[in-house]
Amino acid sequence: MGIVKMKRLTLVGPLSTKPAVLNTLSKLGAVDIRDNAEKAEVWQAKVGRENAHYRKMLEDKQLLDSVIPIADKLAAQKKPMFAAKRSVSIQQFMRYDSGELRTKVLSAARELQGNRQKYEEALAEKAQASLQRDILLPWQEALGDSEVDDTRRIRTWLGHVSNMIQYENLVKALAEVNPTAVVKVLLNKDVKSVAYLVLAAPAVDGELAFVQAQQYGFQPLRQKAAKLSPQEELGHCERKLRELDEELAILQEEGRRLSSEKACFEELSDYFAVQIEKVKADEHILSSERLFVIQGYIPEHLAKGTKKGLEETYCVSVMLEDVTKSDEYPILLSNGKFSSPYEAVIDMFSLPNASEVDPTPTVAPFYCIFFGMMFSDVAYGIIFCLITALLVYKFKVQGGLRKMCQMFFQCGLSSIVWGVLFGGFFGNLIDAFSGASVKFPALWFNPMDDPMKMMIWSVIFGVLHIFVGMGVKVKILAATGKLKEALLDVVPWYLIIGGLGVFAYGVAGGAPVLKTVGLYVLIVGAAVVLLFAGRSTRNPILRILKGVGALYDITSYFSDIMSYTRILALCLSTSVIAMVVNLLALLPGKNVLGLIFFVVIAVLGHTLNFALSALSAYVHTTRLHYVEFFGKFYEGGGRAFDPLAYRTKYVQIDRAEAEPKPIKESLKHRFARFITAE
């Protein structure tokens, strides 16, 4: 199907029906609402995202999004990495139209948020109390039941130094600057460990002694104003820690109770997301005191059914108009089961514009073939297929990731086929492990034994790929009434490149007649380029010079063709690294320890090679399409079809009853394959 044909839709109705119409369009998910081309003063100014209701919805959604991960952590059941979205009915989803229910769920969300704040504060307080306890514990051992306190004539301080060397330096320093001060060790395990001390000095110069001791590394236990002894402070810390543990347990239990509302948090967050999309769409709608006008685009095959359903349900008028390629309508791609996964490659680059063709059908076979050639190993291909199939059918991934997995599943099958043709199964594992008594045969040839043959075939596939791209260019030019440009600017390069290839084959040992035929074909193609590339000018000399300049493009084509030798490089790198892994794994021999070593090295080595080779195949196959292939015909720059729809993050809306009754039930099924969950 390629690019889906569109109709321009214009809907006019009384202002009172606008909310209901927007609800219906949102449920249908088939109308891309755009700004009206003509605007008059009678239309009201847009309020949209500037109104208080919108801001309130944003704040509430942010609140819900912040507590959902908290509820996930508190949930007893661990969430799978690729969990499928929970399905909810449209009735269950729309029950949040009730303000009372929204208030109840938001209240629970705020309670959970407050609960976590209290929990974090209690945790921080517990950490501080634990730190204080750890500081005081050695003093319990150092002091025992003794108490150290000031007298009328003596001032005392408890503290510590980092080690006994620092203690000795402290004693020497105080002996010189303040001989009346005394420092004694209360507890020390060894020379390198902390020494717990008591500092005593006459009251008259005690503060001076304290300051001097600090200058030499003495770190006091606490401020002098503290009224409790270390033993009393330790007891206080222990009591506080017990109280905090009880408080944390209560808060955790309350948090688990509140997290049971997680399903409601998710549903309400998605409900707000849908409502926010409606507000954004409303910014593109013109409204007066009594009327509103919606303009947008709708897939052609849905247009008549939607028009009939809306006009029968509401007091509105719907007008449909044909669009032309100059209208720059939004682009929606639709392809068959084989090609559609490769739309992900197009999406990452750029969608085609309205005057182009969908490149997906031409990208799909070559992407699959090139990836398979680069990743040509039967075992690797089987593993790749199993991983991607698991993600699609077990974990039911959605959106762009699903397309990528489906594409890589096909690429995995291609890898298996090319692995059989080239004789690769974990590299040469079967041959190496059996001592060459059992072989995994190559049905075609082994690139390791004949790399030149592999390079030639890489170039042949590259030329074919470029020829297809040029053919698409011819099709686009012919469709836009530029057949002359196609015949004079594109077709001659088929003759030049094809003739050069035939000539080279004849020179390399083919039939002598091929050399002559190839040369004549090459000359004809070059003559056409030389004579007609500068046809826009009447000056014959300038025309020839432009033709010579155009012929210089042969260097660009040669560079593009040689770029396909990366297929050879990636194919060989996959095989060589696998063979090296097998060689290393089998070094200790085939005894018990050797087999254990073999399993460990083989698993680690082949896992690494699998990951790197798959990544390289993906990157280089994509590059061949983006640079060499798309460079021949593709411009891109299309705007994606972006309908007003239910775009949900947490739940999947069951569309069985998502559309109003007047619109045919079959309409949903016809459009369902174009809807991609976000």
**Going along 323-401, which residue ranges are E strands?**
333-334
Q: Any bridge partners for residue 292, and if so which? A: 13, 287
| Closest C-alpha to 166, from 145, 185, 150 | 185
> What's the rounded mean pLDDT across residues 10-22?
93
Structure tokens at 256: 């688990």
Quote the crossing angle between the two packed helices 262-282 and 99-143, to the nearest 10°: 130
Structure tokens at 76: 């007893």
- Give the tens place of pLDDT for each residue, 321-362: 999 877 889 999 999 999 999 999 999 999 999 888 999 999
User: For residue 44, what pLDDT is reported?
Assistant: 57
Query: Is residue 662 scored above 70 in pLDDT?
Result: no
Environment class of 556 (CB within 10 Å of its CB; exposed 0-12, middle 13-18, buried 19+)? exposed
Confidence of residue 655 (pLDDT cuts 50, 70, 90): low
> What's the rounded mean pLDDT across residues 240-267?
93
Confidence of residue 672 (pLDDT cuts 50, 70, 90): very low
The residue among 670 and 110 whose pLDDT is bigger is 110
DSSP per residue, 101-119: HHHHHHHHHHHHHHHHHHH
Q: Which residues contact 220 (CB under 8 A, 6 or more apart)?
A: 157, 158, 159, 210, 214
Q: Which residues contact 365 (CB under 8 A, 6 or more apart)?
A: none
Q: pTM for this structure?
A: 0.82
Q: Could you give the 3-state DSSP secondary structure of residue 272?
A: helix
CB 303 within 8 A of CB 7: yes
Query: Is residue 568 scored above 70 in pLDDT?
Result: yes
Query: Is residue 143 scored above 90 in pLDDT?
Result: no
In the chain, what are the domains? 147-227 (3.30.70.2750), 332-630 (no CATH)
Query: Is residue 589 scored above 50 in pLDDT?
Result: yes
- Give the tens place of pLDDT for each residue, 193-221: 788 888 888 887 778 888 888 888 888 87
- Give the tens place of pLDDT for each residue, 272-312: 999 999 998 888 888 888 899 999 999 999 999 999 999 99
> What's the rounded mean pLDDT across residues 553-576?
95
Query: Is residue 632 scored above 90 in pLDDT?
Result: yes
Query: Is residue 375 scored above 60 in pLDDT?
Result: yes
Query: Is residue 669 scored above 70 in pLDDT?
Result: no
Q: Could you give the 3-state DSSP secondary structure of residue 185?
A: strand
Query: Is residue 399 scored above 60 in pLDDT?
Result: yes
Confidence of residue 464 (pLDDT cuts 50, 70, 90): very high
Ranking 129-138, 440-449, 538-547, 592-601 by mean pLDDT, the lowest is 129-138
Confidence of residue 508 (pLDDT cuts 50, 70, 90): confident
| Closest C-alpha to 605, from 364, 407, 427, 392 | 427
Structure tokens at 495: 């003759």
